[in-house]
């Protein structure tokens, strides 16, 4: 294991919420909660201002509203989050060829591989510069950085850097730092392993080390026991891996109201199959195994799969396979979640004459819903058509975002990432001058460039 702290772990804190605050001047310094806003919605991310009230990720949205009734509640804008993430990952790639993304907002970087750092001083300087560059790219979005000589210790260091800092663990203090931490801190210790260790009287990393390697092998098996004992002694030889193999591509939707109509369930499965294929194609992949996920009214979750003779990215083939899988599932009591996935991935497509023939019979274009076939239950409420937090543009007032909608009205605040807090106006839901828009970049594309917010600038609230 290397001696210098040249493995860096980056975690953008409260990422979705901080991007929303950077994008919306009126929300900076305010409580912001991002997630599903329906009756079954859950919190994806809460800003630090919202966490003061006890709001946290994975909490039911109804509970969050009770705890922080005055917070801004927004529907996620994943396209914008991906865009900001790509900018951040590009900054990491400039430091080293070895960048291991873990999610949109988290990654490991091997600074030594890029010649960026070789000792504690150079690692600290690289981390400080990276911190400043990321704040410039994301208009001050907070992040935490940890740097050490292993991935495990770098991640622990970044946890210590909350909410917005850089921590390098001092050499020689690693064991003392680890000993009081819960065993769940270590990579590879999930709920099941943690419970197994707890029943054996092992709760902390220090107790894990004291138990000894032989006891851990007896409890957890040879490979897992050896690995956890080494980590308890602050030894982690895992390298930073630039390419992480994608094992599957999937999409799923949770419905605010259980779906009982079997025809609609089939329609939703076909729609999800097409979304999944679009993701496959965007990644240049195909797959052999089609997977259907169904969560029923009683929270029981069923998974069905079918393996084809060769990999495919044909939407008709995936739709047909998902439909066959659905035939084997009883949805009588109602469905609260549906998902379609493809695994057994490959970077090529194997032509299948029978599958292709079936695809021609079903139509070669992606499935499109018949808007005239919608039942009253399927009609999207105003919030669906004008999701809170999403971008809009008015022909007179310029760019803005939806503060809320209902009762045939939609309220919009007209501001951009580069403007002052903007004016609020209310419109009819069907106002032809108002239309959905793409998110604006957080920083100017060209130095000195300004964005036009139309006539809606200013801090006064007004309705029309």
Cα separation, 114 vs 273, whole angstroms: 41
Please pick, among 49, 106, 170, 174, the residue that the annotation labels catalytic: 106
> What is the pLDDT at residue 375?
35
- Strongest mean pLDDT among 53-57, 125-129, 152-156: 53-57
Cα separation, 365 vs 455, whole angstroms: 42
- The CATH fold assigned to 248-373 is Dna Ligase; domain 1 (3.30.1490)
pLDDT, tens digit, for every residue of 241-261?
A: 887 677 889 999 888 889 999
Cα separation, 387 vs 20, whole angstroms: 14
> What is the pLDDT at residue 459?
39
CATH, domain range 176-232 = 1.10.150.20
Least confident of 37-41, 192-196, 405-409: 37-41
> What is the pLDDT at residue 420?
94
The answer, yes or no, to whether residue 374 has pLDDT greater than 70, is no
The pLDDT mean for the chain works out to: 83
Mean pLDDT of 90-112: 89
Mean pLDDT of 445-455: 49
CATH, domain range 1-171 = 3.30.70.270
> What is the pLDDT at residue 163?
66
> What is the pLDDT at residue 322?
96
**Other C-beta atoms within 10 Å of 102: how many?**
13
Chain CA centroid to CA 98, Å: 22
R_g over Cα of the chain: 25
Contacts (Cβ under 8 Å, ≥6 apart) of 20: 27, 32, 34, 72, 74, 77, 389
- Taking CA atoms, 287 is separated from 340, 399, 453, in Å, by 13, 41, 45
The answer, yes or no, to whether residue 381 has pLDDT greater than 60, is no
The answer, yes or no, to whether residue 75 has pLDDT greater than 60, is yes
- Tokens describing residue 326: 């659905």
> What is the pLDDT at residue 124?
83
- Is 11 assigned a ligand-binding role in the annotation? yes
> What is the pLDDT at residue 354?
46
Contacts (Cβ under 8 Å, ≥6 apart) of 33: 17, 43, 45, 46, 47, 50, 55, 61, 64, 68, 71, 72, 73, 74
- Strongest mean pLDDT among 225-229, 270-274, 307-311, 458-462: 270-274
Q: What angle (nearest 5°) sits at the alpha carbon of residue 73, between those of residues 67 and 79?
A: 140
Confidence band of 148 (pLDDT split at 50, 70, 90):
low
Phi, psi values for residue 106, rounded to 5°: -145, 140
> What is the pLDDT at residue 365?
40
- Is 431 assigned a ligand-binding role in the annotation? no
pLDDT, tens digit, for every residue of 320-361?
A: 999 999 999 999 889 999 999 999 888 665 554 344 444 444
Mean pLDDT of 54-73: 94
Q: Ramachandran region of residue 299, left (φ > 0), alpha (ψ -120 to 50) or beta?
A: left
- Taking CA atoms, 139 is separated from 77, 87, 91, in Å, by 17, 12, 15
Known active-site residue 449: no
Confidence band of 2 (pLDDT split at 50, 70, 90):
low
Mean pLDDT of 201-224: 91
Mean pLDDT of 300-305: 92
Cα separation, 378 vs 165, whole angstroms: 47
What is the value of pTM for the model shown? 0.74
Mean pLDDT of 64-87: 93
């Amino acid at each position: 294991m290397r001696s210098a702290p040249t493995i860096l772990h980056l975690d953008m804190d409260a990422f979705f919420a901080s991007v929303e605050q950077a994008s919306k001047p009126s929300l900076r310094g305010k409580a912001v909660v991002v997630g599903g806003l329906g009756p079954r919605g859950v919190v994806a991310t809460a800003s630090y201002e919202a966490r003061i009230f006890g709001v946290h990720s994975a909490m039911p949205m109804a509970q969050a509203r009770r705890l922080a009734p005055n917070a801004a509640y927004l529907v996620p804008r994943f396209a914008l989050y991906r865009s900001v993430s790509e900018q951040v990952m590009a900054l990491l790639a400039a430091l080293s060829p070895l960048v291991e993304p873990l999610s949109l907002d988290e990654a490991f970087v091997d600074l030594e591989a890029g010649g960026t750092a070789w000792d504690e001083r150079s690692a600290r300087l690289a981390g400080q510069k990276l911190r400043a560059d990321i704040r410039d790219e994301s208009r001050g979005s907070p992040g935490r950085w940890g740097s050490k000589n292993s991935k495990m210790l770098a991640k622990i260091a970044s946890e210590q850097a909350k909410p917005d800092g850089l921590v390098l663990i001092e050499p020689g203090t690693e064991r003392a730092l680890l000993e009081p931490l819960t065993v769940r801190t270590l990579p590879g210790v999930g709920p099941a392993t943690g419970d197994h260790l707890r029943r054996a009287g092992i709760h902390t990393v220090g107790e894990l080390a004291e138990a000894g390697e032989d006891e851990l092998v007896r409890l957890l098996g040879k490979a897992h026991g050896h690995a956890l004992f080494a980590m308890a002694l602050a030894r982690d030889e895992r390298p930073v891996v630039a390419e992480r193999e994608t094992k599957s591509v999937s999409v799923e939707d949770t419905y605010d109201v259980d779906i009982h109509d079997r025809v609609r369930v089939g329609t939703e499965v076909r729609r999800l199959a097409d979304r999944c294929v679009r993701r496959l194609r965007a990644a240049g992949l195909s797959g052999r195994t089609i997977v259907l996920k169904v969560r029923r009214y009683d929270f029981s979750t069923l998974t069905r799969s079918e393996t084809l003779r060769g990999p495919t990215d044909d939407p008709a083939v995936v739709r047909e396979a998902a439909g066959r899988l659905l035939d084997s599932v009883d949805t009588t009591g109602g469905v609260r979640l549906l998902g379609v996935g493809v695994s057994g991935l490959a970077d090529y497509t194997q032509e299948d004459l029978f599958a292709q023939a079936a695809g021609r019979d079903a139509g070669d274009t992606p499935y499109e819903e018949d808007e005239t076939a919608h039942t009253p239950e399927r009609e999207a409420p105003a919030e669906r058509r004008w999701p809170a937090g999403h971008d809009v543009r008015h022909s007179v007032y310029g760019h803005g975002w939806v503060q809320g909608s209902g009762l045939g009205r939609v309220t919009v605040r007209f501001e951009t990432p580069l403007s002052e807090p903007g004016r609020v106006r209310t419109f009819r839901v069907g106002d032809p001058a108002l239309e959905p828009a793409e998110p604006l970049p957080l920083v100017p594309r060209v130095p000195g460039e300004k964005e036009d917010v139309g006539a809606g600038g200013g801090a006064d609230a007004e309705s029309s």
